[in-house]
Amino acid sequence: MLEHGHTGFIGMQYRNHGDNWVELGMPWREDLVGDPETGVLASGPIISLLDNATSMAVWALRGAFRPQVTLDLRIDYVRAAAPGKTVIAWAECYQLKRSMAFVRGIAHDG
């Protein structure tokens, strides 16, 4: 799935998963930079990476794909990702209800 569409365009890569968690990566690329003076990645691709990782964590816990939507995505930035480094997103689904899942995640540059 990661080689198609938007995920393929921004270069998301599968790294690992467990029963309720998923880890994805996104290598730094110049065309994803938001600030050419510093080389810092734009926030959009990082948000997409986290959104995909959290969705896949739900699928991991369910044991199957099921269409879903993101209702509330809150991101707190501590600092920008270092230029030239791969961004890694790790997400877990910590509670699954009949029609709602609760997830949390982190994105870092190593």
For 36-52, the pLDDT digits (tens) are 999 999 999 999 999 99
Residue 88: phi and psi, rounded to 5, are -115, 130
pLDDT score recorded for residue 2: 64
Of residues 60 and 7, which shows the higher confidence score? 60
pLDDT in the model for residue 103: 98
At residue 4, the pLDDT reads 77
Range of the domain at 37: 5-108
- The tens digit of pLDDT for each residue in 50-102 reads 999 999 999 999 999 988 999 998 988 899 999 999 999 999 999 999 999 99
* Residue 63, SS3 per DSSP: coil
Q: Which helix (H) or strand (E) holds 23?
A: strand 21-26
Report d(CA 101, CA 84) in Å as an integer.
34
Look at residue 22 and tell me whether its pLDDT is greater than 70: yes
Question: Which of residues 105 and 5 earns the better pLDDT score?
Answer: 105
CATH classification of the domain holding 83: 3.10.129.10
Mean pLDDT in residue range 24-31: 97
Q: What is the tally of structural domains in the chain?
A: 1
